[in-house]
Amino acid sequence: MQFSAATLSRNEATATLKLAEQLGDGELCSFVAGKKLISTVLLNFCCSADILAIAYGIILMAAGSDAAVSSLSCVQCGKPAHLQCPKCVELKLPREGAAFCTQDCFKSSWSTHKSVHLKEKLSALGLGAPGEQNSASPNDGWLYCLKKGQARTPKLPHFDWTGSLRPYPISRRRAVPADIDQPDWAIDGIPKIEPNSDLQHVVEIKTPELIDRMREACQIAREVLDAAARVVRPGVTTDEIDDVVHEATIAAGGYPSPLNYYFFPKSCCTSINEVICHGIPDARKLEDGDIVNVDVTVYYKGVHGDLNETFFVGNVDEASRQLVQCTYECLEKAIAIVKPGVRFREIGEVINRHASMAGFSVVKSICGHGIGELFHCAPNIPHYARNKAVGVMKAGQTYTIEPMINAGVWRDRMWPDGWTAVTVDGKRSAQFEHTLLVTETGVEVLTARLPSSPDVFPWLSS
């Protein structure tokens, strides 16, 4: 961080340095106040009120008594503006859309205001606004995915791949009819309500009306996953599976929740072999001997239903069969203990015990989650032993349990697309997931298999 003697006094520089120490790794940006510019650290919105006050005080000191009264209005509340968004200044965006009266207004508007920056960045990359398709794509739009879905490239990225699997180009984002109810990230890729909700910290007790809606959404999600399971075979691409998921969801009146969620480019996740989770459907054809997880979430009547299963592709080796069956059993054993009064941390103990007895490991970096009107919320459900999850189960809570079990070590790496998590040793991984409702006497599996569900798991028919 650099300071100019002409801009900051000694006391102001000292205060700014102290602020920087408190903020740690915050993003380096510039705040504009009146005619003077201060280089300082952008608050990461997890700071205390005291730190916010210090930052605003530094800006006011730098402006001094001669600061001009802005003719612009705050984009959040309409009051006279005294500050400008530093990122907008950096990107040279119009001042009218970057003006704020106070830090409080800037902070409260951030979840929606930052979409302006993303649109500008994507435009500079030639990708258009978030949610728009790249009209200049070669090969009819098939490109490799980068930056969590925000960028594309015609070349396979350089990466130290951990296994034999490689990403393939992905197709354009599929359209959703205007009459389908859509979550708030559908257009610009940015969830607005979810990250700022109190339900990130408090486990919601669902009302009977909300539970009824969740039953509907979860049944649709189950039927959609079953439709995907029926097309899993050698020679089918994961993009074709995604098409089945997308069309089945739309036909039921739902929205595929993953689509454009933080810019995820597809309507479901397809995770093959060493991919632990969040694989992006692409042009690769499934091969005989693969295992593939299909993760489906449906948004319907304002709530989400989430589940996934791992399927065999053709003739699969015995080691992979044992891994997939063990993962299924881990989920079933975890569900069996769900009832009011049980601690959330006990789920991980049950899963870890069963997986380790079979010689497998449990992924620690990705957890189950609360679900309802929000896609992801409290509680976090770790799947490994000796975890620090707090809280106990209560009737009316809904959440997912979704253990990821590895044939080798539990650690993961991220592919260049920013979504695909793979095993560090290239060995295979499997996953199963259900959305659950805690009842007064136990548990209701909202995404349970139906009598019509395809018979794809040998251990269920033996």
Binding positions for a protein are 278, 376
Domain contains 45? no
388/11 Cα distance (integer angstroms): 43
- What whole-number distance in Å separates Cα of residue 144 and Cα of residue 158? 12
pLDDT value of position 84:
81
**Known binding-site positions for Zn(2+):** 295, 306, 369, 402, 433
The answer to whether residues 64 and 6 touch, using CB atoms and an 8 Å cutoff, is no
Confirm whether 402 is domain-assigned.
yes
pLDDT at 96: 75
* Distance of alpha carbon 102 from alpha carbon 67, whole angstroms: 15
For residues 102 and 213, state if they share a domain. no
Q: What is the pLDDT of residue 68?
A: 37
Tell whether 239 and 366 lie within a shared domain. Answer: yes
Closest CA relative to residue 444, chosen from 202, 201, 226, 212: 212
Query: Which residues of the chain are modeled with pLDDT < 70?
Result: 1-70, 111-112, 115-116, 118-141, 462
Amino acid at 113: H
Output b/e per residue, 430-460; b: 16+ Cβ within 10 A: bbbbbbbbbeeebbbbbbebeeebeeebeee
Q: What pLDDT does 118 receive?
A: 62
Query: With contact defined as beta carbons under 8 Å apart, do 264 and 150 qualify?
Result: no
What CATH number did the domain enclosing 243 receive?
3.90.230.10
Does residue 441 lie in a domain region?
yes
pTM of the model: 0.74
Expressed as residue numbers, the domain containing 96 is 72-113
d(CA 43, CA 87): 12
pLDDT score, position 307: 99
218 and 291 share a domain?
yes
**pLDDT reported for residue 74:** 85
Q: Is residue 394 part of a domain?
A: yes
Q: Which residues are annotated as a binding site?
A: 278, 295, 306, 369, 376, 402, 433
At 61 the three-state DSSP class reads helix
pLDDT in the model for residue 76? 78
Query: How many structural domains comprise the chain?
Result: 2
